[in-house]
């Protein structure tokens, strides 16, 4: 017989699906997910991204249909990454009012005005060297010269009708510069979702294939954060808040769940986004193809862990898969 002192058995509350569902206190709705879209100016039909199963580079002609598909599943926000028809040392294609992201914004807004459009603000997809802004003579990133470029890019997206601006390059002073430009030009209503805490990660490879934005020399360790530094996240986030960020982000997500939790505790009044990046997604996809993990269970577990850690919203390449799962589960 069991000991009479053992009066509480936690396992009693896990015996069946109904009990587990009633007691579950972490629930992720599709409306809390943001789906990334890659739009390629030189394509005439969708092109599969081999390193990211299930994802494609889209031509402008396919963008609205994909956005409508996401919206029908309950996903209300997308983040846009553009691949231009040409690249140069300064990323000038990013500044054109008829650029690939600008045109995408107009097309989707014309058909789906309630879809929230977020533009990733960076230059790595637009420069022929693949770095995130202007370069110094020694080939290091020139933060000061990049700021006016970011201001011009932000204003171009604002004119096109974007809802949120999301600067991702970890450029010193980027939030303050963008906030100032938007306010001066009459776009004070547009919030900034800052990639405040973005680490130099091994998990970005498939994204760089998709966005065609790999650095052609060197790396980005001088401006992205060191994974082994456990303190600088607070300084980076505090600077962005001071400069006018409306929301904060941690990227990647799964390797930095501790940072997500600390960020939420340090800045509870600021909405917190986490980015489940391409490598985190593709490892699960390819692992499932090899029979090493159950794809759906791994998707649910990882997204739940990110939300549980404190993320209010999640950018994920699983967004559509999760929304389809949710829709079936709710029928």
**Catalytic residue list:** 198, 251
Q: Say whether the peptide bond before residue 62 is cis (omega within 30 degrees of 0).
A: no
Cα atoms found within 13 Å of the Cα of residue 48, Cβ hemisphere only: 4
Taking the alpha carbons at both ends of the chain, their separation in whole angstroms is 44
Q: Nearest Cα to 70, choosing from 109, 37, 113?
A: 37
CA-only gyration radius of the chain, Å: 21
DSSP state of 230: S
Phi/psi region, residue 254 (left: phi>0; alpha: psi -120 to 50; beta: rest), is alpha
DSSP state of 222: T
Q: How far apart are CA 50 and CA 2, in angstroms?
A: 56
DSSP labels, 57-101: EE-HHHHHHHHHHHHHTT--EEEEEEE-S--BTT-GGGG-TTSHH
Please return the burial class of 70, using the count of CB atoms within 10 Å of its CB with bins 0-12, 13-18 and 19+. buried
DSSP state of 195: E
Q: Nearest Cα to 315, choosing from 283, 277, 261?
A: 277
Residues β-bridged to residue 250: 197, 274
Q: How far apart are CA 154 and CA 7, in angstroms?
A: 61
């Amino acid at each position: 017989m069991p000991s009479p002192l053992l009066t509480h058995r936690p396992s009693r509350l896990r015996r069946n699906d109904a009990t587990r569902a009633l007691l579950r206190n972490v629930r992720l709705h599709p409306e809390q997910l943001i789906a990334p879209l890659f739009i390629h100016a030189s394509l005439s039909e969708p092109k599969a991204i081999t390193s990211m199963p299930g994802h494609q580079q889209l031509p402008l002609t396919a963008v609205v249909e994909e956005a409508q598909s996401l919206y029908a599943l309950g996903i209300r926000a997308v983040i846009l990454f553009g691949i231009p028809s040409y690249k140069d040392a300064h990323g000038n294609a990013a500044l054109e009012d008829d650029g690939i992201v600008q045109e995408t914004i107009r097309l989707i807004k014309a058909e789906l005005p309630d879809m929230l459009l977020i533009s990733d603000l960076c230059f790595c997809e637009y420069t022929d060297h693949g770095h995130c802004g202007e370069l110094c003579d020694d080939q290091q990133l020139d933060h000061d010269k990049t700021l006016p470029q970011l201001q011009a890019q932000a204003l171009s997206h604002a004119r096109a009708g974007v809802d949120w601006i999301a600067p991702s390059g970890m450029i010193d002073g980027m939030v303050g510069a963008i906030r100032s430009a938007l306010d001066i030009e009459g776009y004070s209503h547009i919030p900034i979702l800052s990639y405040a805490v973005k680490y130099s990660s091994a998990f970005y490879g498939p994204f760089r294939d998709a966005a065609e934005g790999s650095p052609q020399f060197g790396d980005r360790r001088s401006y992205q954060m060191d994974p082994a530094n456990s303190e600088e996240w607070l300084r980076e986030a505090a600077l962005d808040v001071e400069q006018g960020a409306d929301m904060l982000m941690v990227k990647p997500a799964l390797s930095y769940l501790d940072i997500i939790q600390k960020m939420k505790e340090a800045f509870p009044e600021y909405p917190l986004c986490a980015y489940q990046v391409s490598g985190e997604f593709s490892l699960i996809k390819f692992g499932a193809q090899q029979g090493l993990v159950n794809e759906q269970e791994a998707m649910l577990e990882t997204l739940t862990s990110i939300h549980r850690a404190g993320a209010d919203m999640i950018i994920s390449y699983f967004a559509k898969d999760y929304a389809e799962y949710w829709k079936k589960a709710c029928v």
